[in-house]
Amino acid sequence: MARRRQEKAGHRKKEIAAAASKILAHESLSRGSSEKSARLDTNPVGVDIGTSKIVFAQKKHGNVAFTSQLNAFISVEYSKFTESILNQNRINHYRMDESLIVYGDGAEVFANMLNTETGRPMRHGLLNPKESKAIEIIKGILDDIVAPAAKRGTQLCFSIPGAHKEAESDIIYHEAILRRHLSNKGYNARSINEGLAVIFSELEKDNFTGIGISAGGGMCNVCLAFLSVPVITFSIRKGGDYIDDAVASVTGEVNTRVRAIKERELDLTEEPRNDIEDALHIYYDDLIVTLVKGLKESLAQTSKIPDFDKPVPIVLSGGAAKPEGFEHRFEMYLNKEDFPIEISEIRTASDPLYATAKGALIAAMFEG
Amino acid sequence: MRQLKELLLQQCLRDREDKTFLKPLPPSSCRRTIEEFAVLVPDPVQKLRFLNRVLERYRKTLSIYKLSPPFQETVVRKLAMDEVERLCPGARKKVRKLIRQGTISAPRPTPWNIYKYRHSIITIVMAALVLGLGTGIASFRNIISPTPSVTQEPADEYAEEVYGLAKSPDEQYGDARDEGNTKVANVSPQPGGKEAAYAPESTDSSFPEYIEESIWLVEESSDRELYSNGLRITTTFTVENEPRIYYRFPIGSDRLPTEADLSSKIVGILYHASESDIIDFIPEKNQSLKKYSKALFKYVCRNKFYHYFINRFGQVFRAVREDHAAFHAGNSVWADDENIYLNLNHAFIGICFEGKAFEEVKSEPGGPKLTAMKTSTINEAQLTSGRELTDWLRVKYRICQGNCVTHGLVSINPEAKLIGYHVDLAQGFPFHRFGLKDKSRSLLPTITEFGFSHDSYFLKIFKGHIWPGIAYSEERLRRRAEIANIPLAEYRMQLNRRFTRWFEWQKKQKEDQSKDHDQICAMAD
C-alpha cells in the first residue's frame, strides 16, 4: 500500500516537473529576447486587458514589440516540491493557505497536464465577481508583464470594454481598480475603449473613421468612430468563452478541448466534420447574428450618427474573429440586414490578437 | 482609501466625458477638407494629433466664424493648414501642389479671401469705428461741456490666436529662414569674417525661381557660339561621354524609383572650383597664365570632368556636350520640392571656375591638410561669364534657382555618412551675383533627408566657421525627431539606413546598365 502511494506521489512529481519545463519553454518562446529590464524605458505603453489574454505593447527601435500572458489561473495542492519546481522555473505563482495559485501562461499548461479547467479572473470583459482571487491574479499578471515606469508619468493606455446596459457600474469599478494599480506603478494611466483601440490600430488610412469590432474571449466590443471621435460604443456579452461553454455543454466535451479545436482546426467556410465542429458553427452563427443585430439596433437608436458622405469600413479583431471564414459569415449576415449606414469593406485586422494593444499604444503615444 | 477610490471613480467618469460623444463634429463639407489634409500626415500618431487638434480648435472657434457653410469650410481649411504645417514642416508647398493636381479641393475664393484678410478688415472696421466715435464725441463735446471717456473694443481672442500661428515659415530647400532656425542664425557664413572674398547679400527676395526672358543664339560657327546676353562659348574641344540617364527619388516617400522616375532631363547646375595651382594674376605672368589654363582645360577634357570650364580671363569653354553626363559631382546629393537626386553627374550641368578657395597647410598628424583661403581667386571676369552662362542654361533647360548649387554643399562620404567630402565653393560663393539665393543658408538634404553629419576634421578645415545651412538642417532634423517622438540618434540612423538602401540600389542599377551596355557592344562586335 505504502509502495503504491509512493509510486503515485512520484508520478505526480514527474507530471509537475514536466509541466514546469513545458511552461518555461513556452514562456521563453512567447517573450523572445525581451527581458523585464529591457522594458524599463520611458516610451509610452499600450495594454490590452482582455478576458482571455493580457497583451503589452511598446515601441522599440521603431517597431512595436508585444508581450502577452494568458489571463487565467489554476490552483494546485501545496507541496514544497511543487513550490520549488515553480520557483526554479520562474513560473508565476503565489501561495494561498494550502494551495499554490499558478497564473498566466503556465496555468493552461498545468490545466492540460492535470486534465482540469483553468479559472478566469475576468468574465465578460470585467473583473469576475464570482472569483475572490480575481484582483490579486490580475495584479500578478500585470506585474509580470508591465514593468514599473522608469520615469514617473510615463503614458499608458489600457483597454476597457464598451458600455453595457447591465454592467455600467461594474465597468467603472473595473476601470478604477486597474487604473489605480497601473498608476501605482508610476504610469499616467488612461483607459481606451477596445473598439476604438481597434480603429486606432487598423483604420489610419481611413482617417480613423469606421467601425472597429473586438471579438474577444468574454465579449464583443464595438465602436463607430468618425475622424477618431467615438460616436457609438457598445458591447455584447458573448465572446469566445460563450462559444466554448455552450459547445462543451451540448457535446459533453471539456472546454479546453473545445477551445483547442476552435483555435487550431475550425474553418467556418467548410462543412463541419463532427459534432463539435457542428456545434461551433451554430454558436459562431449565433454570436455573429447577435453582433450584427446589436450593431444595427445601436445605430437605429442613436440620433448622433454623423452624416457620412462616403461608405465606412468595418474591421474585425480579437481571438474570436480569428477562425477562417468569420469575416465571410459576418458579411453574409450583415448583407441580410437593412443597415442604416453604407459599408465600404469588411476586413480582419492584420494581427487580430494584437490589434487592441497596438491601438492602445497609439493612444498612449498620442496622449504622451 | 475610500477617498482615493472616489477620486478614481470621478476621474474615470471625467475621462469618459472627455473622450466621447460630446464634441460637436463639423459639417460634412468641412470633414472632407479635414480628410483631404490628413493625407499629408503619414504617421498614425501624428494623424491622430492632427485630427484632434483641428476638431478641438474648430470647437473653440467663435460662432461668428461658423455662421454659414462657406465660412465654416474656410475656417476648417485654415485650421487644417496650420496643423498640417505644424506637424509636417514644409507641407504648405505640398498642399499647393495637391490643390493644383486636384487631390485637395481649392478654397472658395470669396470667403477664403475675407477670412485670410480678416485681421486687416477687423482693423479697418475698428479704426473706422474709433474714428467715427472720436469724431462723434468731439462733435458732442463741442455741444455739451462734460468729457465722456472712449472705451476700446474687446480684442478678438480667436483672431489673435490665429494671427499668432499664421506666421508660419516658408520651408523648402531654397529657404530655411524660419522660426526655429533663427536661433542659430548667428553662425558665421564666411570663413575669415570680414576678410571673406564676397560681400554678403542683403536679401533673397529678389531672385525669381525661373528666368522668363529669352536668350537666343546670335551667331554660330564651327568653334564659337554667341548669345544675346553676351555669352560667348568656345566649342572647339567639345568631347562626348555617356548619354544622361538617371533615376529621381520622389521626396517624402520611402519607395524606390520605378521606370516612371527615369529621366534624362537637366535639372540643375553645379559650380566647381578647379582648386588647381594658381599663378599671380598680373600682366607680367600673362604667358604663364595662358599656358597653365590651356593645360588645365586639356586635362579637364581628357577626363571629361565638367561640361563648362571658365578660365581666369572669363573665357567659357564647352568640355563635355550638354546632353551627356560629365564626371564632376562624384558622390553627391541635392533635392528640390519634388525629387531627391543622388550622384548628380547625370542630372546636373557642371561648371568649373579655374580658381582656388582652399590652400594646403602643414599640420600635425591627423590635422587638416587644407584650410579655407582668406580670399577666393575667382575674379570679376569669371563672375560675369559665369552669370551669363548660368542665365542661358537656366533659360534653355528651365532650371529653377533652387537647383543651382556648389559642389562643396552637395558632396558626401557615403560610407561614413558625412557631408563635405569635397569642399570646393562650400563657403563664400557669391550666389547673389548669379541671381541666386544663398544656398549656404539653405537646408541641406544630405542632413534633413539622410541624417548625414560632419566630423571634427571638417570643422578644422573651416576653423569652426561652418555655414549656417548646416545648423539650420540640424535644427530641422532635431525638430522632426521630436515630432516623430524618436531620439535624434535613432532618427538619424533610420535616415542613414534609407540612404544606404537607395544608394546601393542605384549602384546596382548602374552596374546592371553597364553589363547590358557591354553585352550590346559585344553583340555588335
Q: Cβ–Cβ of B25/A61 closer than 8 Å?
A: no
Confidence at A348, pLDDT banded by 50, 70, 90: very high
pLDDT score recorded for residue A157? 95
Q: What is the mean pLDDT of residues B190-209?
A: 45
Q: Looking at residue A302, what DSSP letter applies? A: -
Q: How far does the CA of residue A1 sit from the closest CA of chain B (Å)?
A: 55
Q: pLDDT tens, B97-108?
A: 787 777 777 776
Give pLDDT, residue A339.
Answer: 83
Taking the CA of residue B485 and the nearest CA in chain A, the distance in Å comes to: 8
Nearest-angstrom CA–CA distance, A72 and A103: 6
Which residue has cell 571634427? B456
pLDDT at position A62 is 79
Residues 6+ apart with CB under 8 A from A345: A313, A314
What confidence category does residue B22 fall into, taking pLDDT thresholds of 50, 70 and 90?
very low
Angstroms from B53 CA to nearest CA on chain A: 11
Q: What pLDDT, in 10s, does the model give residues A120-140?
A: 889 888 888 888 888 888 888
Query: What length does chain B have?
Result: 525
Number of neighbouring beta carbons within 10 Å of residue A41: 15
The nearest alpha carbon in chain B to A181 belongs to B8
**Using CB atoms, which residue from A172, A209, A304 is nearest to B9?**
A172
- CB neighbour list of residue B246: distance below 8 Å, 6 or more residues apart: B262, B263, B264, B341, B343, B346, B347
User: Distance between CA atoms of A366 and B74, rounded to whole angstroms?
Assistant: 27
Question: Do B45 and A61 lie within an 8 Å CB cutoff?
Answer: no
pLDDT at B401: 92
Cβ–Cβ < 8 Å for A244, A255: yes
User: Looking at residues A321-335, what average pLDDT do you find?
Assistant: 92
Alpha carbons B482 and A109: distance in angstroms, whole number: 45
- The answer to whether B279 and B292 are in contact (CB under 8 A) is yes
d(CA A66, CA A39): 11
Of the candidates A226, A229, A365, which has its C-beta nearest B485's C-beta?
Answer: A365
End-to-end Cα distance, chain B: 93
How far A229 CA sits from the closest chain B CA (Å)? 7
The CA–CA distances, whole Å, from B10 to A177, A232, B2, B264 equal 13, 22, 12, 67
B44: chain A residues, CB-CB within 8 Å: 200, 204, 362
Could you tell me which of B435, B382, B390, B470 has the C-alpha nearest to residue B201? B435
Q: Among the listed ranges A9-13, B82-86, B169-173, B192-196, which one has the minimum average pLDDT value? A: B192-196
Q: How far apart are CA A222 and CA A314, in angstroms?
A: 10
pLDDT of residue A155: 93
| Interface with A, mutate which of B48, B59, B497 (most A CBs under 10 A) | B48
Which of the 8 DSSP states describes residue B201?
P
Other residues' Cβ atoms within 10 Å of the Cβ of residue A309: 11
pLDDT averaged over chain B?
A: 78
Which chain B residues contact residue A175 at CB under 8 A?
A: 12
Do residues B424 and B275 lie in contact, with contact meaning Cβ atoms separated by under 8 Å?
yes
User: Do A362 and B23 count as a contact with CB atoms less than 8 A apart?
Assistant: no
Q: Which residue of A has its CA nearest to B43?
A: A204
Per-residue confidence band for A83, with pLDDT thresholds at 50, 70 and 90? confident
Partners of B4 on chain A (C-beta within 8 Å) are 180
A5 in contact with chain B, both atoms CB, cutoff 8 A: no
Q: What is the pLDDT of residue B81?
A: 86
Counting one residue from A and one from B, how many pairs have CB atoms under 8 Å apart? Answer: 77
Partner-chain residue, chosen from A193, A204, A209, that has the shortest CB–CB distance to B44: A204
- Cα dihedral B416/B422/B425/B427 (nearest 10): 30
- CB of A175 within 8 Å of a chain B CB? The answer is yes
| Torsion, Cα of A319, A322, A323, A329 (10° steps) | 110
- What is the average per-residue pLDDT within B2-9? 51
At B250, which helix (H) or strand (E)? Answer: strand B249-250
The single-letter DSSP state of residue B243 is B
Is A190's CB within 8 Å of B31's CB? no
- Residue A319 corresponds to which cell in the numbers above? 481571438
A180-216 pLDDT per residue, tens: 999 999 999 999 999 999 999 999 988 899 999 999 9
- CB-based contact, A135 to chain B, within 8 Å: no
Specify the range with the lowest mean pLDDT, choosing from A197-201, A235-239, B56-60.
B56-60
Residue B500 makes CB contacts below 8 A (sequence gap 6+) with: B414
Segment among A27-36, B125-134, B325-334, B451-460 with least mean pLDDT: A27-36
Higher-scoring residue by pLDDT: A30, B359: B359
Q: Per residue in A268-293, pLDDT tens? A: 988 888 899 999 999 999 999 999 99
Contact B55 A227 (CB under 8 A): yes
Say if residue B314's pLDDT is above 80. yes
> By the 8 A CB rule, do B393 and B349 touch?
yes
Question: In Å, how far is A367's CA from the nearest CA of chain B?
Answer: 9
Contacting residues of A for B12, CB less than 8 Å apart: 172, 175-176, 179, 191
Q: What's the confidence (pLDDT) of residue A107?
A: 85
Chain A contacts of B13, Cβ < 8 Å? 172
| Residue B408 pLDDT > 80 | yes
Quote the CA–CA distance of B307 and B305 in Å, as a whole number.
7
The secondary structure of residue B451, as a DSSP letter, is: -
ipTM for the whole predicted complex goes beyond 0.85: no
* Residue in the block written with cell 548669345: B227
Q: How do the residues of chain B divide into helix, strand and coil, expressed in percent and rounded to 5?
A: 45, 10, 40
The pLDDT of residue A10: 64
Please determine, for residue B367, whether its predicted confidence score (pLDDT) is greater than 70: no
Distances (CA, A) of B209 to B100, B173, B340, B395: 18, 12, 18, 11
Per-residue model confidence as pLDDT tens digits over B476-496: 899 888 888 888 998 999 999
Of B11, B23, B45, the CB nearest to A365: B45
pLDDT tens per residue across span B241-300? 988 999 999 888 888 888 888 899 999 999 999 888 888 888 888 888 998 899 999 999
Please state, in angstroms and rounded to a whole number, the distance separating the CA atoms of residues A219 and B263.
Answer: 57
Q: Give the pLDDT confidence score for residue B194 in this predicted structure.
A: 32
User: What beta strand segments (E) does B330-463 contain?
Assistant: 333-335, 339-342, 348-353, 358-360, 370-372, 404-406, 412-413, 418-419
**Residue B411 confidence (pLDDT):** 93
Contacts of A208 in chain B (CB under 8 A): 47-48, 51
Q: Does the reported pTM lie above 0.80?
A: no
pLDDT at B1: 45
Give the confidence band of A34 by pLDDT, cuts at 50, 70, 90: very low
| Cβ count near A345 (within 10 Å) | 13
Cα distance between residue B419 and residue B452, in whole Å? 6
The band of A14, judged by pLDDT with boundaries at 50, 70 and 90, is low
- Would the pLDDT of A74 be above 50? yes
**Chain B interface residues (partner A, CB cutoff 8 A):** 4-5, 8-9, 11-13, 15, 19-21, 23, 25, 27-28, 31-32, 34-35, 38, 44-45, 47-49, 51-52, 55, 485-486, 490, 494
> H or E stretch including A144?
helix A134-145
Tens-place pLDDT, residues B433-455 = 999 999 988 899 999 999 999 88
Chain B residue with minimal CA distance to A200? B44
Nearest CA to CA, how far is B51 from chain A (Å)? 7
Question: Could you tell me which chain B residue has the CA closest to the CA of A179?
Answer: B8
Query: DSSP letter at B284?
Result: G
- Does the structure show a pLDDT above 60 at B147? no
For residues A55 and A47, is the Cβ–Cβ distance under 8 A?
A: yes
Mean pLDDT of B223-232: 93
pLDDT at B327 over 60: yes
pLDDT (mean) for B17-41: 69
* Residue A220, helix vs strand vs coil: strand
User: Which residue type sits at B275?
Assistant: E
Alpha-carbon torsion (A259, A263, A268, A272), positive or negative: negative
Residue A113 is placed in which grid cell? 497536464
Evaluate whether A221 touches A191 at the Cβ level (below 8 Å). Answer: no
Distance CA A59, CA B43 (A): 14
- What's the rounded Cα separation, in Å, for the pair B36 and B30? 10
Burial class (CB in 10 A: 0-12, 13-18, 19+), B85: buried
Q: Which of B433, B379, B390, B351 is nearest to B231 (CA)?
A: B390
* B15, B16, B22, B54: best to mutate for the A interface, most A CBs within 10 A: B16
CA pair distance A281, A271, nearest whole angstrom: 9
Q: Which of A57-71, A109-123, B212-226 has the weakest average pLDDT?
A: A109-123
Dist CA B285 CA B185 (whole Å): 42
Asked whether the beta carbons of residue B48 and residue A362 sit closer than 8 angstroms, the reply is yes
| The pLDDT of residue B347 is above 90 | yes
Question: A89 with A23: CB under 8 angstroms?
Answer: yes
The C-alpha atoms of residue B294 and residue B286 are separated, in whole angstroms, by 12
Q: How do beta strands B224-227 and A312-317 pair?
A: unpaired
Q: Report how far residue B415's alpha carbon sits from residue B407's, in angstroms, rounded to the nearest whole number.
A: 18
Rg (C-alpha) for chain B, rounded Å, is 29
